[in-house]
Structure 1
Amino acid sequence: MKNEIDKKLTDKNIKPTAMRQLVLKVLTEQKTATSLPELELEFEKADKVTLYRTLKTFEENKLIHKIEDGTGSVKYALCQDTCECHPQDLHVHFLCDKCKKTYCLNDIPVPTINLPIDFSLESVNMVVKGVCFNCKK
């Protein structure tokens, strides 16, 4: 697993440090998007600034993407390997109203947005809300 983690980091031009390896390992194991406070609980003894900088580095190098799902807490999820975070790479996110977990729906692209002339698209955040499969059981 360590070799896979290091390869993901180096493929995105990120130097594999111990903290970066640990954070990427945790993000890889997550089935849902994770917030900074949730990661801080996972790494209680780690410096919070280092953890934040790690996420910022991952985001800047398109290893993770940021999700604003309306809960008031930004969440982070791994990008797909081919993602360049261009509008055509964007996908829908699902927020469960019961458990408050946010899922990436990678197979559902964000619909094309036809903006007026002289407007330029920088990002799109589409969140669908409902009840996830775990909470429906």
Structure 2
Amino acid sequence: MNQDTHFRECSVPAVGRVFVYLLQGNQHMNDQLEHQLERRKIKPTAMRLLVLDFFQQNDHAISLKDLENGLESTDRVTLFRTLKTFEEHKIIHSIDDGSGAVKYAMCGDNCECDYPKDAHVHFHCRVCNETQCLPKVKVPPIALPVNYLAEEANVVVKGVCAKCKP
């Protein structure tokens, strides 16, 4: 977390003490986070606000382990439940990038995680090990045999990302 962040302490059941923060002098940012949760019919709690802000501070998909490391003094079970709540309410989506750990990334504002409408390609960099959403690169239509119904598709392209390219 950034050192310019002001904290106010509060209690959260099953988590103990965590910090709900207001970005320095910016109640508006906190209000935006709360609105984003409420728009998806999720009750804003201290932990949910922390997790949502963590996602917004990262430009790549993150794992539960990344979240644990980035938010010290948090309970793994509570983080996992928060991820599942966010996924169910389509704030984030999960990605199996072949790394052995499920990653999660922010959904777009109008995303409903519907296949094939919202299906997009993901890119996993073998150098920095980050996975990026490529929302403008749609998963191409897949012609399945008769009586097969596609419900989701996971396309991960692996290589070297723009940041790591020599």
* TM-score of the superposed pair, with normalisation by structure 1: 0.97
Question: Offset of 1:44 from its aligned partner?
Answer: 2.5
Larger radius of gyration: 2
For residue 41 of structure 1, give the secondary structure of its aligned residue in structure 2.
Answer: helix
Count of aligned pairs: 137
Q: Aligned ranges for residues 3-22 of structure 1 at < 5 Å?
A: 3-22=31-50
Letter of the 1:56 counterpart:
K
Q: Which has the higher strand share?
A: 2
Superposed CA RMSD in Å reads 0.8
| Cα distance in 1, alignment partners of residues 93 and 79 from structure 2 | 15
The structure 1 residue matched to 2:149, chosen from 120, 134, 137, is 120
Q: Which has the higher helix share?
A: 1
For residue 76 of structure 1, give the secondary structure of its aligned residue in structure 2.
Answer: strand
* TM-score of the superposed pair, with normalisation by structure 2: 0.80
| Cα distance in 2, alignment partners of residues 60 and 116 from structure 1 | 30
Which structure has more relative contact order (CA 8 Å, sep 6+)? It is 1
Matched-pair identity in %: 52
Structure 1: tracts of 5 or more residues without a match: none
| Cα distance in 1, alignment partners of residues 57 and 146 from structure 2 | 43
Structure 2: tracts of 5 or more residues without a match: 1-28
| Cα distance in 2, alignment partners of residues 101 and 134 from structure 1 | 10
Letter of the 1:113 counterpart:
I
The answer to whether 1:50 aligns with 2:78 is yes
Runs of 4+ in 1 over 2 A off after TM superposition: none
